[in-house]
Structure 1
């Protein structure tokens, strides 16, 4: 890499490093990277903010990171600011709200078994969210009332070939899904309907900027190619290193990560701490 890296290049690299579960603890423990990501959340460039949020979202997938992240100076306040800004794009607000809820709930010592199972399955599934050929679909799911039903949604979505990642906002019964550009949103509606107890509607922005719910045609279900060989999704603590060559996404070796963390930390120190 030639020349001095700019803010977007650095935050994109941190985002990609954070996508690898093996790097998440090191990033949070680094003295410069986490404070730097928080500062990126206040940047005027919306691409920098969104990329920083994705990096923070990946880091929050590691449970052992959440307490430190929640207590980091400015983290919760910056997330609130992103959510409250009138100029913040809707997708960015949803992502910030999701992270805020995860970190806020980390103060609760007790998590039921259904919640634990759900997070385990999502730990490695939330990879590739920055795929350039991907698109985002926001679903409102009627009947998404508890952790058990969320697990049913996850089972249905995991079976669809072309689904890259998904996150839930239980308080508003929403699911934010990243899918391949050639996969129809209607296929997601069909998958949710297959649970027999839930129904999905797509949330889009109208011409006036307000959110509009679009129902999927129940008499014309859209079937999608299904994943027939799903792996067992293990929590990070149990993921065997010998399976790294079979991971959903790889963004570099530990040595690459360490080198980039040093570069990022040095850049952040020069840029923000004087």
Structure 2
């Protein structure tokens, strides 16, 4: 077994909720994932990040993962690396999730977060919310492309996606024009955004937005927090990975993976 096959199978196992506790409890798996985060093969790094992202889905796992020696440092290194934005965004999301105080991982806190849709400091209470319908937002690659575009727009505070509906809800500073956001999305060349509003009858309608000729002002730092734990597309993301259907197969793969990690690395 090579690193790519091992981390890919570990990711497939982690995509199934019933396997996550076993993976988190096994020190060889967590230590192996940390080593994979510094692997020279980008495919290995990305698969390791996806695995950790699955494991972080359970708040009870976050403290264990965070306390594993080298985890936070490795994530920070990826955020500051020359890897693709799409990989750095994933590392950023995991880093922020693990950095959250433990009380913010409770069901009560998550319900409060879900009802508010966004985590915002008090200074942003006057922020505007813009709902966009994005043509072409039909897979995770396009979602990452849209994220990259939005992160570059100065004045964007946070955003969430509903891929099934091709929707993106963006919270922005009051002085940021909607056209700035739609223009940034249009610059991807494969996505096009229309604003979603309600007419006098209360029915949703799509409003085409003009494209700005002047360059959109870019932000050079990532937002502090882009929560998506409660996003409707979470199940869709899980569905992208081929599930392992049989209990025996799951158990065998987990044992094989742990065995490979234990024999390959010295802890």
Q: Same fold (TM over 0.5)?
A: yes
Mapped to 2, the partners of 1:132 and 1:67 lie a distance apart of 31
Query: Secondary structure of the equivalent of 1:252?
Result: coil
Task: Quote the residue 1:273 is aligned against.
Answer: 266
Task: Quote the residue 1:137 is aligned against.
Answer: 145
2:86–2:145 contact (8 Å) kept in structure 1: no
Query: Based on CA coordinates, which of the two structures has the bigger radius of gyration?
Result: 2
1:76 aligned residue (60, 63, 72): 72
2:75–2:92 contact (8 Å) kept in structure 1: yes
**Is 2:27 aligned against 1:31?**
yes
- What pairs with 1:123-272 in structure 2 (closer than 5 Å)? 135=142, 136-139=144-147, 140=150, 145=157, 153-154=160-161, 157-160=163-166, 185-186=191-192, 189-190=193-194, 193-194=195-196, 218=209, 248=239, 251-253=243-245, 254-272=247-265
**Per-residue deviation, 1:69:** 0.6
Mapped to 2, the partners of 1:106 and 1:66 lie a distance apart of 10
1:100 aligned residue (70, 88, 95): 95
Task: Quote the residue 2:14 is aligned against.
Answer: 18
Mapped to 1, the partners of 2:93 and 2:197 lie a distance apart of 24
Q: Deviations over 1:246-271 (max 9, x none)?
A: x9466113332221111111111111
**Per-residue deviation, 1:58:** 1.1
Mapped to 1, the partners of 2:252 and 2:114 lie a distance apart of 33
Unpaired segments ≥5 residues, structure 1: 120-130, 171-183, 197-215, 221-232, 237-246
**Per-residue deviation, 1:185:** 2.4
Mapped to 2, the partners of 1:45 and 1:98 lie a distance apart of 21
**Per-residue deviation, 1:46:** 1.2
The verdict on how the C-alpha distance between 1:133 and 1:58 changes in structure 2, with shifts beyond 3 A counting, is closer
**Per-residue deviation, 1:18:** 1.2
**Is 2:57 aligned against 1:55?**
no
**Per-residue deviation, 1:154:** 4.1
Mapped to 2, the partners of 1:56 and 1:219 lie a distance apart of 40
TM-score (norm 1): 0.57
Query: Secondary structure of the equivalent of 1:138?
Result: helix
Aligned length in residues:
188
Task: Quote the residue 1:239 is aligned against.
Answer: none
**Per-residue deviation, 1:103:** 0.5
2:56–2:94 contact (8 Å) kept in structure 1: yes
Mapped to 2, the partners of 1:273 and 1:10 lie a distance apart of 17
